[in-house]
Structure 1
Amino acid sequence: MDARGVLRRLLGTLGLLILAAAVLALAFFLRAQGLDRSTQWVGVGGGLLAVAAVVQKPALGLADWLRHGGSRQPMELEAVVEALAKGLARQWSLEDERHRASHPRALPVRWSVSGEAELAMAGVGWDDLGARGRTVRAPSLAGEYDTIYDTFTQRLPRQRLIVLGRGGGGKSSLARRLARDMLQMRAGQGRVPVLLSLASWDPEEDLARWVARQLVRSHPKLERLSLPPLGGGPPVQLSTALVRSDRLLLVLDGFDEIPEPSREAALEKIAELGDEVPVVMTSRTDEYRQAVQAYGGGLPRAAVVELSPVDGPAIKSYLTATTAVLPPGRWDTVFDLLDRAGGSAVTQTLQIPLMIWLACVVYRHPRSTPGELADPAAFADSGAIERHLLDNLVTAAYPRSGPRDAYRVRRAQSRLIFLAGWLKDRGTTDLAWWQLPTAARGTLPRLATGFPVGLAAGVPAAVILGTMTGFRTGAAAGAALTVLATVRAFSPAVVHFGRRLPGPIIGRVVALATGLGAGLPLVLRGQLAAGVAQGTSVGMLAGLAAGFVVHEGRSSPTRATVRVQGHLLRILHRMVVGLLIGLVFGGALGVSLGLTADPATGLTFALLAVAMGLAMGVVDSLHVWIDNEADISRAVSPKTVLRDDRAAALLRALAAGPLVAAGAGLTAAFAYGPATGLGLGCAMAFAFITTDRMIGVSGTAWGAFVLVRSWLALSGRLPWRLMAFLDDAHERGILRQSGPLHQFRHASLQQRLAARRP
């Protein structure tokens, strides 16, 4: 049993012991009261239980609304499907335009049902692939790059296909082409193809749940709830509803990138989707064959095709059309080897589309010497040629015309090597800018990136508390908050209370309790204005500090669309929660102070607690008012996602800043004068705008990105204008773009660059 199970059992046992002790205590209490009084107590208890039975359901409904509120407005699934198809079509169209600009001529890729492909269909007969009177035979499953859509839609009635080939053979390009064509030719009720890289899937996780998470990552709006199904039942997350709706075509790229021990389980999970579910998957031939043998059979009712090696005439035609033809005879020695029947190392290498493309880039310019590939001493085997082409890709992609250009090429190469190594450490091929904080590993980088956050929180705290309580107290509190914020800036919350007691509620409770405790002694000594000012400021700073402990910052980007329509319930929910916390504290303080001191003091603190609770609820509601998920139908890129998150961070901070400044500044002004109030209000606003985990810039994906990018730029590992650098690498063909992500052109390029990391 794990630690959580043991803890649950201990808590359950403790609860039973407490309940037994309470029942025993009640029995002794009733016995001591006598028969008449016991009867009265039982009557009161029975009445309360009767009332509780009546109000239980509405009370639970209110509690559930207070906990979750109208946090997500349900959406119609059909509208979401169409919006998703529209957004993906725009994305693929933009990517296709960029690809055609840099690669105007398509690589010669052919595919068919080879002998290896038929072996990989172990246990799957050709009759299994047919449906509705339509038969499928091996000769009909052959074609070129441009015919994959027709084959898939017209010759495979079940639309279940496995594409095999060598590394760099064009499998991913073929899958992308199929997805793009299906979106372009899609009818109103057609499936929406979604291309997913299997490199990030751990088969220990349910495949449908992983697909839903991947959809939310690229389209945050899919995290919202769907309308309840026609058959009834609770609404579910839109991404989950999409996966269950049979409206998606899963295009699973890179089965071979799953670790070898997990491939059998992965194939089993994919088979569990059902043999009627259309699916497309790509893999290297040997890796898929080994998984089939371990699993005991091929993927049910799935046809398997294999990409064919490119023949010599096609290779010569492509290289002649895409590289310099002068001086004459640049490729003669290489072409002579391609014409021979022996199968040289050059021939084996250039049969792979990726290697053809690399040769095109490396030897595009007339100053290059492609004939060096024919040197048997320098390039004894295909591996040596492949390493040579990969190592020279960056140099060829950044042409040199002077000494400064040589330095620029070396610098670009070192930065790409760093990025490739970082992705290797994370075990992924997806380069997401909001994940950059994971690249600052070790104590020094974490402290260096967190120290600005600590100073931004600690210095204002020292100024505020030093003005109110003296230099020593202010300095000590500022130093403590600086250390806390520095250490916790990019760490998850220490205490995660889950759905029952979210971190923001804990932060508000801490702020109210600390603030009221700090201001109460002064009020009891007759210093009402000073007590209110000190209680407000101390409470705010306590809430700021508590946020670093109980509330995690944003680890994914958001988008700002300032609107109330469709979010009124969520805004009202946040305000009511804050108001209720204030009412609880205010009621308790009002009664206790009214009895122990005087009614005026009790009323003052009751109103103060209610006002502070409502103010925190208003600040919290700003997230709903400002933060909204990106439109599904909107074509996104890494730069647009970064721009959206930056705008949301700044708008959120600047909208909440005046409220924080007003709360601290006005109360301080009554006690210490307008000038001091203005200064303290500005200091408090600065601390919250920059460091708060809910409204502060450093608690956002963009803020964390800027801080870590700055450290990596100062240390020389990345450029200051990182997004411009990535876009430039994309234009040069080193990277490719998939929605909000960048990826290296091919996994082998990423692996080769990562291997060169110091």
Structure 2
Amino acid sequence: MSDHPVSGNSVSGNSVSGNAFHGSAAFQVGDHNTQNIHHHITHSPPTHTSSTTVDPLDITADELARVVGAQWQEEAGLRRLLEPAPLPVRWRVSDRKVAGRVVGATGEGAGRARFGPLPGVGAITRERLRDGGGLRELHAVYGGLASGRLLLVGAPAAGKTAAAVLLLLDALVHRAAQVAPADRARVPVPVLLSLDGWNPGEETAVEWAADRLGREYTLFHGKGGRARARQLLEQGRISLFLDGLDEVTGRLRGAMVGALETAPFRLVLVSRAREAVLTAKKARLGGALALEIQPVRAADAAGYLLNRLPAEPSTAWRALTGRLLTEAGPLAPDPLAAALAGPLAIALLRDVYGDDDPVDELLDAARFPSAAAIENHLLDHAVVAAYTRRPGHPRPRYSATTAERTLRYMATRLTQEDTRDLRWWHIPGWTGRRPRLVAVWIVSAVVCGPPGVIMAWSLSPSLPIAVISTLSAIAGGYGIALQFAARSVPQPLSSAGWRDIFTRRTVGAGIAQWLFVGTALVLLIPLLVDHSPPYWFWYLVTLPLGFGEVLATGRGYEILSRAPFLSVGVGRYDMVREDFARPSVADTRSVSPRDVWRHHIGLRLFLGLLTGFALALYIGPMVAWSTSWPRGAEFALTAFLWTGATSGLVGNLAVATALTALQLHHEEGTPVRLVHFLEDARRRNLLRATGPVYQFRHARLQERLAAEKPT
């Protein structure tokens, strides 16, 4: 990960040394070190306790640093970026036409710099950039660049995102361990985001980033969360590392670069070099400094591989590393050295070949005449290698055959849709909806229909009534199935968290509605009838009206609108479409796709059943009081089942995805627990999580899996 040495227990320049860090966020980046991440915030005691107060934004920033550190520490571990003696990161100032003059970025002779150097980091000059450098120097550029605008470019699979992740972790180390507590507020918290989903024509960079932070970190959920995120961005207390510029369309890339021009925070933008050049023809990031990630040297690749082998490597490994050590550099004509010029191929090589495997077969010029042939061979075996049991590791939950079949199917679907983002809530659109429609129809009619038929028979025990009620149950089940089948069309995951639905305002409106209607009935009913129920009865049956008011005035509108007889009078709701659900958890952390899945299926089902119970509570007691308690129970059960099914099942994309997974299991042989499989594939470094979506670890892996399976 880092190419600077670590020794002793000192801090010098921009390097950090020592064996451990302790604090609100702690990371170690050198060799033979440990990490201690504390899941709480620590603050230095104020000098004057009587007059000094802690800025709430300081607490938020420190907690964000902890959460981001834990997130990317785990991700870096999955990507194997933190192992001993990692591959060095090397860069030089790019000579491609992707940015302006270097002096425009360093601010030399141009007066006041846009961003002052971070505490503990000196100002960057052209002289310091002349010879390029490694990860330590990259952090110095990040922290000392006057423009605060850094472009990381390079060839495909050159390790640009890996360099950005390692830079982010180094920036967190610097903030946590190398800066005095009094200066920590001047050091921004680095956050890595993907640029997908941003339309610069509709929202500014700050608005978009604040929204993304609110979606991806529970720290910014709830009342005021988005406002806190916006404050941190506007004050430059967050720096954004933006990946995926090369994955959006050309016109949109130019608009994004233009919108980032005036962003008030430090910025690191990651892109493939070719797309960066094309973007620069339409829009350039003012004051940006473009650094190009360099290919891995053959000797570095050999050293990296040897460090992970036994002290006495096998003959095959000695032959392969010996070939690398004899090469002059990464641009040598040898196919092996050219193939291993990128971190992706090196990591794949170690994944695919064990200590005793015949890795020297890659030296066969007849089988592997080019670097592309070697890379394709490694990509073709990546999935099998990830799901092959290794000594000391638990047995994989899925067979290599099942995993490869599933990932090939998904890669093909994503390639057909011209996207890299695997949104689990779009999976229902991947296959025909008819089998799910029939299944939901049958289940709804069988489960929800009998209570209604029994209720109708008890009211009028005759054959026509039985037939009509049975046909009504079948028709009702079909109606539910039609609404459920509509979820096969790709759409936003329009849901919200508990705090978005049960806010003080909505709960207050619900209580007011309940007390008003209940009190009105208590006062009016005795004037209209001689034998009215007791007071408590009217407060009981009007409770559902208060609950309906909570949903109608909050973001539970869609759940309520699905419920029979409860969709009237909810026009006051201010429609806010969320891109995905927002879990509300006790601790602060980043939100993963699996978190979104679990939250959505749990919240929607619970609120749907609660809505059914509300209608049952409304109808059942009134029927029971006017007729009999058994009949009231029949009405209540019927209302509960039908309303719960329509409001909780129909609008639940997580349920639709689960049923689609069953269908795909039958049609394509994919796992039944598809979301669980996706998370397992991420753990095996075949997928990565970007906010609420999954992506293949690299575009080349998706392309290769989507191609025709090699024979």
What is the TM-score normalised by the length of structure 1?
0.67
Q: Match for residue 287 of structure 1?
A: 275
Question: Cα–Cα, structure 1 residues 97 and 711, in superposed 2: closer, same or farther, change >3 Å?
Answer: same
Q: Match for residue 153 of structure 2?
A: 164
Separation in structure 1 between the aligned mates of residue 692 and residue 148 of structure 2, nearest angstrom: 28
Task: State the SS of the aligned residue for 2:588.
Answer: coil
Asked if the contact 2:124/2:140 (under 8 Å) is kept, the reply is no
Q: Match for residue 87 of structure 1?
A: 67
Q: Please list every run of 5 or more consecutive structure 2 residues that lacks an aligned counterpart in the other structure.
A: 1-54, 118-122, 176-183, 557-581
Q: Match for residue 471 of structure 1?
A: 466
Task: State the SS of the aligned residue for 2:192.
Answer: strand
Matched, 1:320 2:306: yes
Asked if the contact 1:558/1:628 (under 8 Å) is kept, the reply is yes
Separation in structure 1 between the aligned mates of residue 530 and residue 492 of structure 2, nearest angstrom: 38
**One-letter code aligned to 1:111:** W
Task: State the SS of the aligned residue for 1:675.
Answer: helix
Asked if the contact 2:457/2:466 (under 8 Å) is kept, the reply is yes
Matched, 1:214 2:212: yes
Q: Match for residue 248 of structure 1?
A: 238
Q: Match for residue 16 of structure 2?
A: none
More helix by share: 1
Separation in structure 1 between the aligned mates of residue 351 and residue 238 of structure 2, nearest angstrom: 36
Shift of 1:308: 0.9
**One-letter code aligned to 1:417:** R
Asked if the contact 2:314/2:355 (under 8 Å) is kept, the reply is no
Shift of 1:554: 6.2
**One-letter code aligned to 1:383:** A
**One-letter code aligned to 1:347:** A
Question: Cα–Cα, structure 1 residues 157 and 122, in superposed 2: closer, same or farther, change >3 Å?
Answer: closer
Q: Match for residue 506 of structure 2?
A: 570
Task: State the SS of the aligned residue for 2:74.
Answer: helix
Out of 687, 705, 711, the position equivalent to 2:642 is: 687
Matched, 1:190 2:142: no
Task: State the SS of the aligned residue for 1:380.
Answer: coil
Matched, 1:451 2:441: yes
Task: State the SS of the aligned residue for 1:366.
Answer: coil
Matched, 1:726 2:678: yes
**One-letter code aligned to 1:310:** V
Separation in structure 2 between the aligned mates of residue 459 and residue 126 of structure 1, nearest angstrom: 76
The correspondence of residues 516-535 of structure 1 with structure 2, limited to 5 A, is none
Identity of aligned residues (%): 27
Task: State the SS of the aligned residue for 1:322.
Answer: coil
Q: Match for residue 178 of structure 1?
A: 167
Asked if the contact 1:557/1:642 (under 8 Å) is kept, the reply is no
Separation in structure 2 between the aligned mates of residue 288 and residue 753 of structure 1, nearest angstrom: 26
Alpha-carbon RMSD across the aligned residues, in angstroms, is: 4.5
Task: State the SS of the aligned residue for 1:294.
Answer: coil
Task: State the SS of the aligned residue for 2:469.
Answer: helix
Matched, 1:747 2:699: yes
Shift of 1:280: 0.4
Task: State the SS of the aligned residue for 2:665.
Answer: helix
The correspondence of residues 623-702 of structure 1 with structure 2, limited to 5 A, is 629-630=584-585, 633-649=588-604, 651-652=606-607, 658-670=613-625, 673-689=628-644, 691-693=645-647, 696=648, 699-702=651-654
Asked if the contact 1:453/1:486 (under 8 Å) is kept, the reply is no
Shift of 1:602: 13
Out of 618, 623, 630, the position equivalent to 2:547 is: 618
Asked if the contact 2:93/2:291 (under 8 Å) is kept, the reply is yes
After superposition, give the CA deviation of every residue in 1:385-409 in whole Å (9 maximum; x if it has no partner): 22221111111222279xx999921
Q: Match for residue 688 of structure 2?
A: 736
After superposition, give the CA deviation of every residue in 1:432-459 in whole Å (9 maximum; x if it has no partner): 54x2544444342552565367435556
Separation in structure 2 between the aligned mates of residue 650 and residue 747 of structure 1, nearest angstrom: 36
Shift of 1:717: 4.4
After superposition, give the CA deviation of every residue in 1:503-537 in whole Å (9 maximum; x if it has no partner): xxxxxxxxxxxxxxxxxxxxxxxxxxxxxxxxxxx
Separation in structure 2 between the aligned mates of residue 175 and residue 602 of structure 1, nearest angstrom: 76
Greater Rg over alpha carbons, structure: 1
Shift of 1:365: 4.1
Asked if the contact 1:557/1:700 (under 8 Å) is kept, the reply is no
Matched, 1:485 2:485: no
Question: Cα–Cα, structure 1 residues 710 and 136, in superposed 2: closer, same or farther, change >3 Å?
Answer: same
Question: Cα–Cα, structure 1 residues 577 and 385, in superposed 2: closer, same or farther, change >3 Å?
Answer: farther
What is the TM-score normalised by the length of structure 2?
0.71
Shift of 1:306: 0.6
Separation in structure 1 between the aligned mates of residue 434 and residue 613 of structure 2, nearest angstrom: 35
Q: Which moved more, 1:132-141 or 1:343-352?
A: 132-141
Q: Match for residue 51 of structure 2?
A: none
Q: Match for residue 103 of structure 2?
A: 125
Q: Match for residue 39 of structure 2?
A: none
Task: State the SS of the aligned residue for 1:125.
Answer: helix
Separation in structure 2 between the aligned mates of residue 329 and residue 730 of structure 1, nearest angstrom: 30
Asked if the contact 2:542/2:618 (under 8 Å) is kept, the reply is no
**One-letter code aligned to 1:414:** R
Asked if the contact 1:423/1:431 (under 8 Å) is kept, the reply is yes
Asked if the contact 1:109/1:353 (under 8 Å) is kept, the reply is no
Question: Cα–Cα, structure 1 residues 150 and 729, in superposed 2: closer, same or farther, change >3 Å?
Answer: same
Asked if the contact 1:361/1:397 (under 8 Å) is kept, the reply is yes
Shift of 1:488: 1.1
Q: Please list every run of 5 or more consecutive structure 1 residues that lacks an aligned counterpart in the other structure.
A: 1-74, 228-235, 495-551
Question: Cα–Cα, structure 1 residues 453 and 354, in superposed 2: closer, same or farther, change >3 Å?
Answer: same
Task: State the SS of the aligned residue for 2:529.
Answer: helix
Shift of 1:354: 1.0
Matched, 1:706 2:695: no
Task: State the SS of the aligned residue for 2:411.
Answer: helix
Out of 92, 95, 112, the position equivalent to 2:92 is: 112
Out of 421, 432, 438, the position equivalent to 2:412 is: 421
Shift of 1:334: 6.7
The correspondence of residues 275-314 of structure 1 with structure 2, limited to 5 A, is 277-295=265-283, 298-314=284-300
Asked if the contact 2:152/2:292 (under 8 Å) is kept, the reply is yes
Asked if the contact 1:560/1:645 (under 8 Å) is kept, the reply is no
Of structures 1 and 2, the one scoring higher in RCO (CA 8 A, sep 6+) is 1
Separation in structure 2 between the aligned mates of residue 579 and residue 479 of structure 1, nearest angstrom: 39
The correspondence of residues 548-587 of structure 1 with structure 2, limited to 5 A, is 555-556=494-495, 558=497, 567-577=503-513
Matched pairs, number = 595
**One-letter code aligned to 2:474:** A
After superposition, give the CA deviation of every residue in 1:124-144 in whole Å (9 maximum; x if it has no partner): 535654536945215437322
Question: Cα–Cα, structure 1 residues 91 and 405, in superposed 2: closer, same or farther, change >3 Å?
Answer: closer
Shift of 1:464: 4.4
Asked if the contact 2:509/2:549 (under 8 Å) is kept, the reply is no
